[in-house]
Amino acid sequence: MIEFLESFQWVIVPLLAGFLALLGSWKGAKWGKTTEHEQWLRNERLRVYTRFLEEDVPLDVARMTSWIGEGKAPPVGDRGLQLITKILLIGGASTSEQARKVLDHHRALEAYAFEAVSKRIPMEEMRPKTEKLASETMAATGELILRIRAELKVSDD
């Protein structure tokens, strides 16, 4: 048997080496694609989350003032809807749910502020509810930031 293998070693060794090289390159390509996709997804999430926190969460005083001046209520459903949709598509379940809560808190705060100002409620009367709604909004936003950091694997170092 050994003599038989020795006579074909010039064929067996290159075939085995070629097979192992193909197997290694296939596995490497598959690993590279996975890593590239994970990096793309992380970057997309970071971009969408950052835009949501910077552009759609802060109370827009100019918009609110224009609504009050025109005697209109804040439009329901337009604020952050596109970004919430993107967050729901690419974000983790926990982060997506918390982003929705932040937007709901923000809408409640805007709606109350509009109602209070349009009805000319004195500031001292509206302050407790406004502070409560603002505190809830800030707490929800803080929780969202923690969930985003955990999802993106950002360390505190």
Q: How many CA atoms lie within 13 A of 19 on its CB side?
A: 6
pLDDT band at 71 (very low <50, low <70, confident <90, very high): low
52, 83 contact by CB (below 8 A): yes
Q: What are the structural domain ranges in the chain? A: 44-151
Q: What is the pLDDT of residue 57?
A: 63
Q: What is the pLDDT of residue 98?
A: 92
pLDDT band at 110 (very low <50, low <70, confident <90, very high): confident
3 state SS of 71: coil
Residues belonging to the chain = 157
What is the spatial distance between Cα 131 and Cα 76, in angstroms, rounded to a whole number? 22
59, 110 contact by CB (below 8 A): yes
Highest averaged pLDDT of the listed ranges 23-27, 35-39, 112-116, 143-147 = 143-147
Q: What is the pLDDT of residue 135?
A: 87
Nearest partner of 150 among 95, 96, 86, 89, judged by Cα: 95
At residue 91, φ and ψ (nearest 5 deg) are: -85, 165
Single-letter residue type at 100: R
Predicted confidence (pLDDT) at residue 147 exceeds the cutoff of 90: yes
Task: Name the more confident of 95 and 113.
Answer: 95
What pTM does this model have? 0.65
User: Out of 5-19, 44-58, 95-109, 130-144, which region has the weakest mean confidence (pLDDT)?
Assistant: 5-19
Q: What is the pLDDT of residue 143?
A: 93
Single-letter residue type at 67: W
Task: Name the more confident of 138 and 58.
Answer: 138
Mean pLDDT over residues 97-111, rounded? 86
Share of the chain above pLDDT 90, in %: 9
End-to-end C-alpha distance for the chain, whole angstroms: 62
What is the spatial distance between Cα 45 and Cα 94, in angstroms, rounded to a whole number? 13
Single-letter residue type at 116: A
